[in-house]
Structure 1
Amino acid sequence: MAPLTSLTTALLFSSLASASTIQFNIARNPAAEEAQLTRRQLTNLYKRAGTVNVALTNAENQGLYFANVTVGTPGQNLALQIDTGSSDVWVPSTTASLCGNAKEGGCPNGAFNSKSSTSFQDVETNGFNISYVDGTGSTGDYFQDTFKIGGATLNNFEMGLALDTTIGTGIMGIGYNTSEANIDTGNGTEYPNLPLAMVNAGAINSAAYSLWLNDLQATTGSILFGGIDTAKYSGDLISIKVYPDSQGGRTTSFTVAFTSLSATSSSGTDQLTPANYATAAILDSGTTITLLPDDIATSIFEELGATVSQQLGAVVVPCALAENSGTINYGFGGTGGPTIKVAVSQLVLPLTLTNGRTPTYTNGQAACQLGIQAAGDLPVLFGDTFLRSAYVVYDLENNRIALAQTDFNSTSSNVVSFASQGAPIPSATTAANEDQVTQTATGVPKVGTTGTADGTAAATYNPTATGLNAANGFAATSTSTSTGSKKNAAGAGPEPFAWSRVVVAGVSLALAGVGGGVFTLL
Structure 2
Amino acid sequence: MARLAAHLLLASSLLSLAAADGTLRWDIQKNHDVQAAQLKARSLALQRRALGERADTLTATLDNSIQAGLYSANISVGTPAQSLSVQIDTGSSDVWIPSSQASICSDEKDGGCPGGSFDPTSSSTYVDVEPDGFNISYVDGTGSTGDYFQDTFAIAGGEVKNFQMGLATNTSIGIGIMGIGYNSSEANVDTGNGTIYPNLPYALANAGLINANAYSLWLNDLQATSGSVLFGGVDTAKYTGDLISIKVYPSSYSNRVTSFTVAFTSLSATSSSGTDQLTPSNYAEATILDSGTTITLLPDDVAQAVFDELGATVSNELGATIVPCSLASNPGTLNYGFGGPGGPVIKVSMEQLVLPLTLPNGKTPTYSNGESACQLGIQAAGDLPVLFGDTFLRSAYVVYDLDNNRIALAQTDFNSTDSHVVAFPSSGAPIPSATSAANEDQVTQTASAVPKVGGGSAAGSGTTVTFNPTATGFSAASGFGSSAPTSTGGGKKSAGPSGPEPFRWAPVFVLGATLVGMLAGTGIFALL
Partner of 1:51: 57
Percentage of pairs with the same residue: 71
Contact 1:129 1:181 in 2 (8 A): yes
Partner of 2:25: none
* CA distance in structure 1 between the partners assigned to 2:120 and 2:354 by the alignment: 41
Contact 1:253 1:444 in 2 (8 A): no
Taking the TM superposition and a 5 Å limit, the aligned residue runs for 1:432-451 are: 432-443=438-449, 447=453, 449=455
Letter in 2 for 1:320: S
Say yes or no: does 1:381 pair with 2:387: yes
Contact 2:138 2:450 in 1 (8 A): no
Compare CA radii of gyration and give the structure with the larger one. Answer: 1
| Structure 1 counterpart of 2:192, from 180, 186, 192 | 186
Contact 1:280 1:438 in 2 (8 A): yes
| Structure 1 counterpart of 2:88, from 62, 82, 90 | 82
The 3 A distance-change label for structure 1 pair 459 and 397 is: closer
* CA distance in structure 1 between the partners assigned to 2:287 and 2:245 by the alignment: 15
Partner of 1:363: 369
1:202-230: per-residue Cα shift (whole Å, max 9, x none)?
A: 00000000000000011432100000000
Partner of 1:334: 340
TM-score normalised according to structure 1 size: 0.81
Partner of 1:423: 429
Say yes or no: does 1:236 pair with 2:242: yes
Q: Give the drift of 1:459.
A: 5.9
The 3 A distance-change label for structure 1 pair 181 and 126 is: same
Three-state SS of the structure 1 residue aligned to 2:104 is: helix
Say yes or no: does 1:137 pair with 2:143: yes
1:91-150: per-residue Cα shift (whole Å, max 9, x none)?
A: 011111111000111111111111111111100000000012332110000000111001
Three-state SS of the structure 2 residue aligned to 1:217 is: coil
Instruction: Give RMSD over aligned pairs.
Output: 2.4
Q: Give the drift of 1:356.
A: 2.0
| Structure 1 counterpart of 2:110, from 104, 111, 117 | 104
Q: Give the drift of 1:361.
A: 1.2
Taking the TM superposition and a 5 Å limit, the aligned residue runs for 1:195-214 are: 195-214=201-220
Q: Give the drift of 1:422.
A: 1.1
Say yes or no: does 1:292 pair with 2:298: yes
Letter in 1 for 2:92: S
The 3 A distance-change label for structure 1 pair 209 and 451 is: farther
The 3 A distance-change label for structure 1 pair 313 and 119 is: same
Taking the TM superposition and a 5 Å limit, the aligned residue runs for 1:296-311 are: 296-311=302-317
Partner of 1:153: 159
Letter in 1 for 2:412: T
Partner of 1:162: 168
* CA distance in structure 2 between the partners assigned to 1:96 and 1:326 by the alignment: 47
| Structure 1 counterpart of 2:275, from 252, 269, 287 | 269
Contact 2:319 2:457 in 1 (8 A): no
Structure 2 residue runs of 5 or longer lacking an equivalent are 1-47, 464-492, 521-528
Say yes or no: does 1:65 pair with 2:49: no
Three-state SS of the structure 1 residue aligned to 2:501 is: coil
Contact 2:330 2:508 in 1 (8 A): no
Say yes or no: does 1:223 pair with 2:233: no
1:446-498: per-residue Cα shift (whole Å, max 9, x none)?
A: 7575999xxx65869xxxxxxxxxxxxxxxxxxxxxxxxxx970444432222
Q: Give the drift of 1:421.
A: 1.0
Contact 1:360 1:510 in 2 (8 A): no
* CA distance in structure 1 between the partners assigned to 2:311 and 2:99 by the alignment: 45
Letter in 2 for 1:425: I
Structure 1 residue runs of 5 or longer lacking an equivalent are 1-40, 461-486, 515-522
Higher helix share: 1
The 3 A distance-change label for structure 1 pair 259 and 208 is: same
Say yes or no: does 1:401 pair with 2:415: no
Say yes or no: does 1:117 pair with 2:107: no
Contact 2:334 2:347 in 1 (8 A): yes
Contact 2:320 2:456 in 1 (8 A): no
Letter in 2 for 1:111: S
Q: Give the drift of 1:60.
A: 7.6
Three-state SS of the structure 2 residue aligned to 1:360 is: coil
Contact 1:58 1:218 in 2 (8 A): no
Contact 1:449 1:457 in 2 (8 A): no
1:430-451: per-residue Cα shift (whole Å, max 9, x none)?
A: 0000000000011456757599
Three-state SS of the structure 1 residue aligned to 2:220 is: coil
The 3 A distance-change label for structure 1 pair 407 and 77 is: same
Contact 2:357 2:461 in 1 (8 A): no
Q: Give the drift of 1:352.
A: 1.0
* CA distance in structure 1 between the partners assigned to 2:203 and 2:308 by the alignment: 46
TM-score normalised according to structure 2 size: 0.80
The 3 A distance-change label for structure 1 pair 171 and 508 is: farther
* CA distance in structure 2 between the partners assigned to 1:448 and 1:149 by the alignment: 34
Partner of 1:91: 97
Q: Give the drift of 1:170.
A: 0.4
Contact 1:354 1:458 in 2 (8 A): no
Partner of 1:483: none
Partner of 2:42: none
* CA distance in structure 2 between the partners assigned to 1:180 and 1:361 by the alignment: 45
Matched length: 443
Runs of at least 4 residues off by over 6 Å: 511-514
Letter in 2 for 1:323: S
Partner of 1:126: 132
The 3 A distance-change label for structure 1 pair 281 and 163 is: same
Partner of 1:279: 285
Contact 2:320 2:462 in 1 (8 A): no
* CA distance in structure 1 between the partners assigned to 2:399 and 2:232 by the alignment: 10
Q: Give the drift of 1:283.
A: 0.2
Contact 2:268 2:336 in 1 (8 A): yes
Contact 1:61 1:216 in 2 (8 A): no
Say yes or no: does 1:318 pair with 2:324: yes
